[in-house]
Amino acid sequence: MKTRILKIIWGVVCLFLAGLTLACLEGYVPFDCFSGKLSVVIFACLSGVSFLSYFLSGTRYWAWLFPALISASLALNAAGLFMNYGSPIVAFPILISLAIPCYVGYFLNRTQWAWLVPAWLLTIIAFAPPLSGLVEENLLIALIVYSISLPFMVGCLTAPECRWSLFVAAFFGFLGVFYLVESFIHGAVWGPALMLGIGLVFIAIAYRSKKNWWASILAGIFTTIGMVALLNRLIPGYDYISIGEYQLGIYSALLFLGFALTFGLVWRLGGDHRHAWAKYPALGFLVLALIAFLVGQSFIPLLPAITFFVIGMVMVTGAILKAKFTRQISP
């Protein structure tokens, strides 16, 4: 019965629109009238019929909300409420009318979290123009990027099988950090951002399977370079700290310390003897970090000699310790 009523209603609407179109083509109704009260009445009627169809069909048929809300927003625009094209809110009702049905679709079925992505994105786009005159540009972009990550975070929490959404959320959250930082400091931070972004990709690859252990090395290297470069942008002029006649190298030491930590994690988290080799570069970079910290500004000219010295010491120490360990376990 409800289906028959809907068919009759929409049939009448279509016949009315057909007659109105023919009247316009024949010149009985001027096109100028559509910019006035007639267009408001037409869109308001279409909105009302669409809402009626929604409630008669049942709330689970929420797609009826698209024509209902879009027609309502067009009626508001035709009435002149949002027709000031210089205003930043001219598109606000249209965007919100597209977003609301997507929210309804999610709340009716929480497993369909993907509807939150267009819903939230349309909401952000709708509110961005009004906020553009009140908020600094980089802060607004950071807010938008952070907001985009929220639906994917919800997807990860509500659907554990969609773990990939966590990486998407982390990626947008990562981008938001650098827009936020750029709003507080002078100078570009996209060089460090690129390094950290590449590191994040390799972290995701390593996370997917233990067989991708090699990706953790690249992740550690790129992440360390990005973090040190970012610190250099955030706190410039502190490459070396002078204490009396000594200069302590900070960023060089942090760089090698990050490399040492990377190989140390590969060694400890590898799970078998095949990754035991990683302890040697870990130890080598740890020594380099200590030397870079103590030597300070003189570290760069001495780097070749220090590198060969560290490699030699690690190899000799490793060989001695291995021979000693072999003698202890032999019967």
Q: 6: phi > 0 → left, psi -120 to 50 → alpha, else beta; which? A: alpha
Indicate whether 146 and 107 sit together in one domain: no
> Does residue 314 fall inside a structural domain?
no
The last residue of a domain, from among 99, 134, 169: 134
Domain count, the chain: 2
The pLDDT confidence band at residue 5, using thresholds 50, 70 and 90, is confident
Residue range of the domain that includes 165: 136-186
Indicate whether 163 and 179 sit together in one domain: yes
* Segment (H or E) for 229: helix 213-234
pLDDT above 60 (res 11): yes
pLDDT above 60 (res 24): yes
Indicate whether 82 and 142 sit together in one domain: no
What is the maximum alpha-carbon separation in the chain?
A: 110
pLDDT above 70 (res 303): no
Show Cβ contacts of residue 314 under 8 Å, excluding neighbours closer than 6 positions. Answer: 280, 283, 284, 287
> Does residue 319 fall inside a structural domain?
no
Decide: helix, strand or coil at residue 205. helix
pLDDT above 80 (res 319): no
Indicate whether 54 and 100 sit together in one domain: yes
DSSP count for the chain of H helices, then E strands: 12, 2
> Does residue 23 fall inside a structural domain?
no
pLDDT of 140: 78
Task: Give me the torsion for CA of 39, 52, 99, 130, rounded to 10°.
Answer: 40
Indicate whether 128 and 154 sit together in one domain: no
Indicate whether 64 and 160 sit together in one domain: no
pLDDT of 170: 75
Cα separation, 216 vs 219, in Å, equals 5
> Does residue 121 fall inside a structural domain?
yes
The last residue of a domain, from among 119, 134, 149: 134
pLDDT above 70 (res 297): no
> Does residue 116 fall inside a structural domain?
yes
Indicate whether 60 and 147 sit together in one domain: no
Indicate whether 105 and 60 sit together in one domain: yes
**Region 285-289: what's the mean pLDDT?**
83
pLDDT of 247: 46
pTM: 0.53
The pLDDT confidence band at residue 246, using thresholds 50, 70 and 90, is very low
Indicate whether 108 and 53 sit together in one domain: yes
Indicate whether 123 and 1 sit together in one domain: yes
Indicate whether 46 and 164 sit together in one domain: no
Task: Indicate the range of 129-138, 160-169, 305-314, 319-328 predicted with least confidence.
Answer: 319-328
Indicate whether 151 and 123 sit together in one domain: no
> Does residue 248 fall inside a structural domain?
no
> Does residue 54 fall inside a structural domain?
yes
Q: Mean of the per-residue pLDDT values for the chain?
A: 75
> Does residue 170 fall inside a structural domain?
yes
pLDDT above 70 (res 7): yes
pLDDT above 60 (res 254): yes
